[in-house]
Structure 1
Amino acid sequence: MINEEIQEIIGKYVAAYNTFDMEGMMSLLHQDIVFRNFANGEMNAETSGIQEFRELAERSAQIFSSRCQTVTDWLIADGNAEVQIDYEAILAVDLPNGLKAGEKIQLKGKSVFEIFEGKIGRIEDYS
């Protein structure tokens, strides 16, 4: 798969994520998708398979009234992509950590994508 195809798949995924388009996201994922989220160096979420991913994605979508990932840099090699991400979201609900509905969250991080059989087979988010 050439770099432009990988970039197109990831770009479509990010666009679907930003617009809460669950079906659009799922259409780009391999059936055996593995997802891991790391915050402050520790893994705080992991899913295996498209159904577990969907359940986490649907729960997560309920937390935000808006969200936007912006890719700021790309590194693509051997079917893998590492993208630098600026993330901004508005909370729809109060969180246990004290953040309140209506507050804005801004983060910088990176996401690592691995492509299998023309679909996203692994996503690791780091913030």
Structure 2
Amino acid sequence: MNRKEEVACIEEYVRVYNSFDIKGMVELLHPDIVFRNVANGEVTIETHGIEPFQQLAQQSAGLFSSRRQTILQYIESDGRIEVDIGYEGTLAVDIPTGLKAGDKIQLTGKSIFAFTNGKISSIEDHS
């Protein structure tokens, strides 16, 4: 898989993510997918394998009535692709941080993707 194909895969992942298409997301993943969410330099969530990733994706989708990631920039780094991301979402439920259903969230961060055998094998979301 060349860089152009990897970028196309990332763009498809973001497209299906934005449309809440969990099945579409999973189809792009390597069976041994590793997902990490990193907030303020600390890993807050980590999954290994398709099943735990899918469960987390379904749980996360339920938190939002709408959500949208926007790709701002690509950076190649050590065989991986870093993607600067703009994110906005509207909460569907109240969450423990004090935010309420209907509140809007906007932030920027980055996602780092790695590939194995033509599939996404690692995603690290940093905020």
| TM-score where L is the length of structure 2 | 0.97
Pairs aligned (count): 127
Does the CA contact (< 8 Å) of 1:3 and 1:77 recur in 2? no
Q: Which residues of 2 match residues 29-40 of structure 1 at below 5 A? A: 29-40=29-40
Structure-2 residue corresponding to 1:62:
62
Provide the C-alpha distance between the structure 1 equivalents of 2:54 and 2:17, rounded to a whole number of angstroms: 12
* CA apart distance, 1:40: 1.3
Q: Which residues of 2 match residues 1-127 of structure 1 at below 5 A? A: 1-76=1-76, 79-127=79-127
Does the CA contact (< 8 Å) of 1:70 and 1:87 recur in 2? yes
* CA apart distance, 1:78: 6.1
Provide the C-alpha distance between the structure 2 equivalents of 1:68 and 1:5, rounded to a whole number of angstroms: 22
Does the CA contact (< 8 Å) of 1:6 and 1:79 recur in 2? no
* CA apart distance, 1:79: 4.4
Runs of 4 or more above 2 Å deviation: 76-79
Instruction: Note the residue ranges of structure 2 that are not aligned, 5 or more in a row.
Output: none
- Cα RMSD (Å): 1.0
Q: Secondary structure at the match of 1:20?
A: coil
Q: What residue identity is the alignment partner of 2:3?
A: N
Instruction: Note the residue ranges of structure 1 that are not aligned, 5 or more in a row.
Output: none
Provide the C-alpha distance between the structure 2 equivalents of 1:32 and 1:106, rounded to a whole number of angstroms: 31
